[in-house]
Amino acid sequence: MDTKIVRLSEGNNDETALREAGEILKSGGLVAFPTETVYGLGGDALNPDSSKKIYAAKGRPSDNPLIVHLYRTEDLYRVAKEVPEEALKLAEAFWPGPLTMILPKSDLVPKETTGGLDTVAVRLPSHVGARKMIEYAGGFVAAPSANLSGKPSPTLAKYVIEDMQGRVDMILDDGEVGIGLESTIVDLTVDPPQVLRPGYITKEMLTEVLGRVENDATLFSVSGKTAPRAPGMKYRHYAPKGDLVIVRGESERVAAFVNEKLREARRAGEKTGVIAAQETSKLYDADVVKTIGKRRDEEVIAKRLYGILREFDDENVGKIFSESFGEESDEKGGLGQAIMNRLLKAAGHQVIEV
Ligand code: TXA
Ligand code: MG
């Protein structure tokens, strides 16, 4: 398949390209497009064949449900069978933006899109180009992240091109995304509402609007043995090819421990890597040391994380150690929870305390 790649301009006033993307989607084709969180791999959410094509292009199991993207809030009533008061309050507070809500699905949404579930995930992105494209596509675009299954979600157009060229009809290139981690998912079909995937919209922000909100108990588990409630969260996502282990503790001790392990790995003939904060990156003696950002600069850490995981793959690093991130903001509920959750998943929940 030939893939048309279009670079969007600043402000996304690319009417011709966005309308063309909308037409492709309407006629059952696939378009990879930017959002404020990560790039998405879009198809018409109301067309079962489009959803099947999405699973095929990603190489993803078809029991993993897709998020339906809207361009205006009132379309909630078309995809959801019931729209509870909570959904309207959250839409008012956080849409357009990086929040996905789980609701009972209407008959309009095919089971192919929801992975066979009776519920539907809905989100209204804030990215201007994405919203126009969704409108031109008829209003309902199913989109998982635009990576091949098992790879980190793409935060740069070059990663989308790497994974999706030849597999989709069009790629809209808008450079680097804003946030770098996928949207927060909140399940409104249970009481109290549950966060199934932490993100930029934090549990604390949701609690302020709704009162009581809980975390899915598996989100930060170190063992990773219980299955998370969002079907997609159970797969070993975001995993680099190399073995990744998180090392937690006081910085000098972490560095001493990691350097010892790095020497062992080197003796075993492995190429070694470290993910470190700017403050401590000089302490490590690895083949590749990736500085992810200043420890307290969580927006930078969030935006860099997936790119770094991909870089390790490109550089064929076999043994990777990461410092632990995001713990400072845990009580305040910043981006730290989302960063820690993704890092734990990338590491297959391997954590060593020193
Ligand atoms: O930021 C995002 O949400 C990005 C951009 C492209 O919008 N999309 C994204 O989609 O991350 P995806 O498919 O990579 O992740 C969707 C997650 C999966 O973990 C899936 O299991 C969960 O949402 N999900 C979807 N529908 C669900 C449902 N009905 N019930 C529970 N979890 C659901
Ligand atoms: Mg994904």
pLDDT 10s digits, 334-345: 899 999 999 999
**CA 318 to the chain's CA centroid:** 24
- Judgement on whether residues 73 and 140 belong to the same structural domain of the protein: yes
Do 146 and 253 sit in the same domain of this protein?
A: no
Same domain? For 183 and 278 the reply is no
How many beta carbons lie within 10 A of that of residue 4, not counting itself?
14
pLDDT of residue 9: 95
Same domain, 183 and 259: no
Dihedral, CA of residue 162, residue 166, residue 167 and residue 173, to nearest 10: 50
Ligand 2 geometric centre to CA of 74 (Å):
26
Q: Is the CB of 181 under 6 A from ligand 1?
A: no
Nearest to 66 by CA among 57, 75, 74, 11: 57
Does ligand 1 come within 6 angstroms of the Cβ of 232?
Answer: yes
Q: In what order do the strands lie in the sheet with 319-323?
A: 288-293, 272-277, 319-323, 243-248, 351-353
Q: Rounded mean pLDDT of 105-109?
A: 98
Residue 126 sits in a domain of what CATH number? 3.90.870.10
Question: What are the pLDDT digits (tens) for 266-325?
Answer: 999 999 999 999 999 999 999 999 999 999 999 999 999 999 999 999 999 999 999 999
In the predicted model, is pLDDT for residue 258 greater than 60? yes
The amino acid at residue 268 is A
Strand 319-323 relative to strand 243-248, pairing:
parallel
Structural domain range at position 207: 4-215
Last residue of a domain, one of 195, 215, 235: 215
The number of distinct structural domains making up the chain is 2
Residue 222 included in any domain: no
State the distance from the centre of ligand 1 to the C-alpha of 197, rounded, in angstroms. Answer: 9
Nearest atom in ligand 1 to the alpha carbon of residue 125 is: 7
Q: Indicate which atom in ligand 1 lies nearest the CA of residue 181.
A: 1
What ranges in 2-143 are assigned the alpha helix state H? 15-26, 48-58, 76-79, 85-94, 128-136
Same-domain check for residues 169 and 42: yes
Residue 296 tokens read as 């307290």
In a domain, 42, yes or no: yes
